[in-house]
Amino acid sequence: MAQTISIGATQHIDLLKARLGRKLNFFEGNGLKVVFEERPAGRLTFLSCRLTGHGSYIYTREEDCWTAFRQFLADIISDLILNHWEENLLKDIIRENYYYFDAQERKIIYNYALHHVHSDEESRLYTIYTSNRKSKILQKVMDFLHHNNSVVIDGFIRFRLKEYLSELREAADKAVDDYLMEREYQEFIQLLKYFVDVQEPRAEVVNILVNGVGNFKLYDEKMEPIKNDYMEGFVVELVDNEINYEDLVISALITIAPKNIVLHYKDDCGKSTTIDTIEGVFAGRVRECAGCNLCRGN
């Protein structure tokens, strides 16, 4: 028995050889031998993998040996595509489709895209999600090697994994949306910071109590509730006005422009986007209370 599969690629050939070498003990332990031969061909490098010898009791037929060897190679190729080609594929998609962003912006978009590729599913289902992605690619590689003894990984991805490439393009599109939203948000934060910086502080300290359902209560430095008239009409009856509650809190704080803000968390309440905004607008003025009567009070 002597059968050969040739694998060509523009990149990661050394990695491919290393992965193959680490797993060949299984075949050699069953009376099989794999011989590698590497040859360049322009931008491509081909690695010929020749299977020789006769299997032991595990593989009683030559056909079974050859099937197992194809599956062995397909598993390595699909793993390399997911864990090594994917990053460059994403970068190429972003560079080709969003060339009008500069290098730093494309880097940010790339990181957002990676997040979408790896975290579209719930974290507890991540392993299953990744396994499903690989199984789809693995099956396509197996089908191809069943009818062909030569594969160029770059061309295989381009012409045989169109659904997979479509998923990467969708992740890139979502990443651009994320980046534009984040950029708009940061511009908004900078505008609010300007409003705060150009006016005189109207309070030394504002204490903010955040409860478990995301409501905010504002107190002055004497721990007395801040009156509505003190905020010059910004705090109004929400029942009669279509004003977002979180926006209302931010507006009130900008009006007061306190020198310092102390955050008090109640009922193990975690941070919210509103708190993030407050910390962005009042950078350097915000701190968290280590524990006081307001935090522990009813």
Between 242 and 294, whose confidence is greater? 294
- Answer whether residue 217 is part of any domain: yes
Tell whether 178 and 212 lie within a shared domain: no
| Domain shared by 33 and 125, yes or no | yes
Percent of the chain with pLDDT over 90: 54
70, 171: one domain = yes
200 belongs to a structural domain: no
Instruction: Name the token pair of 196.
Output: 């705060």
Are residues 218 and 158 part of one domain?
Answer: no
- The dihedral sign for the CA sequence 251, 257, 258, 262: positive
Count of structural domains, the chain: 2
Spatial separation of the C-alpha atoms in residues 32 and 68, rounded to whole Å? 11
Alpha-carbon span 217 to 206, nearest angstrom = 10
Q: pLDDT grade, residue 266 (50/70/90)?
A: confident
Per-residue pLDDT tens digits for 33-75: 788 899 999 999 999 988 876 555 455 677 777 888 899 899 9
* pLDDT at residue number 140: 96
CB-CB contact of 169 with 109 (8 Å): no
What are the backbone dihedrals phi and psi of residue 192, each rounded to the nearest 5 degrees, phi first? -65, -40
Q: Are 187 and 237 in contact (CB under 8 A)?
A: no
pLDDT of residue 109: 98
Residue 228 has pLDDT above 70, yes or no: no
Nearest residue to 295 via CA among 260, 256, 269, 259:
269
Task: Say if residue 76 is in the same domain as residue 115.
Answer: yes
CA-to-CA separations, 108 to 34, 177, 221, in angstroms, rounded: 43, 12, 41
> Model confidence over 98-123: pLDDT tens digits?
999 999 999 999 999 999 988 744 44
Tens digit of pLDDT for each residue in 235-248?
Answer: 444 334 444 677 88
The number of beta carbons lying within 10 Å of the beta carbon of residue 160 is 16
Give the chain's mean pLDDT: 84
